[in-house]
Amino acid sequence: MKKTFSILLLLSLSFFAGAQELKKINKRSGTNYFAFKETYTVLKSNPEVKQGAYQKTAGRSTLKGQYDNGARTGIWEAFNQNDLEQKINFPNQEVLFAKPMKALKKVTILNENAEVETENQPLFIGGDALFTSILAYSIRYPAEAVQNHVQGKAILSAIITSDGKMVERKIVKGPGYGINEEALRVVELIPNDWIPLKVDGKAVSSRIEMEVSFTLGR
């Protein structure tokens, strides 16, 4: 009996020695008007490495899931208030459910010889709610446009690479008066956090077009 107790004690000590100590982080960034709020845990031994439950809220959007040694794992879900927008299984980025992103007005597949328009989309992790929240709450109406009572939409393009990076952001057209430059500035705030477009199960680069609207209050 004494020998059995000793073995159990050693096993218990080994388990606790192998367990990783975690530290809870509550992070807030942004302004009083609009803020990103993140709640997650990190390794005490390496605070740069996320481990365990994660949740981000911004405007109407909520993104939640799990990290394992700094990498997303298991089921991640994105909500627009209480409505499910995305359900993705990591680390293989298997899309279990995704509402189309209304923010993306046009998507073309980048082939070697041509660009082919498609109804399929790359996915911004967090969905429409997070994407549009970043744009809407980051815009600063240009003084020149205010002075000249200019409103309108700026159309921009960008490439989502096969490894999920957003690059080559450009203005396609817009009303000017500082609006084009401001639209480009806020689009550059969108994180490189995409699931690339897939064709026959293979990730490919694609070009997206999006609109940023500017409306003066009455």
Give the tens place of pLDDT for each residue, 136-178. 888 899 999 999 999 999 999 999 999 999 999 999 999 999 9
Tell me which of 7-16, 155-164, 172-181, 200-209 is least confident.
Answer: 7-16
* Lookup result for tokens 């020149």: 144
Q: How far apart are CA 215 and CA 80, in angstroms?
A: 23
Q: Is the pTM of this model over 0.85?
A: no
Q: Name the packing angle between helices 127-138 and 179-187 (round to 10°).
A: 140
Strands 206-214 and 104-110: antiparallel
Q: What is the pLDDT of residue 8?
A: 45
Q: How far apart are CA 98 and CA 91, in angstroms?
A: 17
Partners of 86 in the beta sheet?
78, 98
Q: What is the pLDDT of residue 218?
A: 64
* Number of CB atoms found within 10 A of residue 58's CB: 20
Burial class (CB in 10 A: 0-12, 13-18, 19+), 65: buried
> What mean pLDDT is predicted for residues 59-67?
94
pLDDT band at 133 (very low <50, low <70, confident <90, very high): confident
More confident residue, 13 or 202: 202
Q: What residue spans define the domains of the chain?
A: 19-98, 100-218
Burial profile 164-202: b = 16 or more Cβ within 10 angstroms, e = fewer: bebeebebeebbbbbbbebbbebbeebeeebbbbbeeee
Strands 83-90 and 94-98: antiparallel
- For the chain, how many helices (H) and strands (E)? 4, 16
> What mean pLDDT is predicted for residues 124-142?
90
Q: Which two tokens stand for residue 31?
A: 């302004």
What's the CATH code, domain 100-218?
A: 3.30.1150
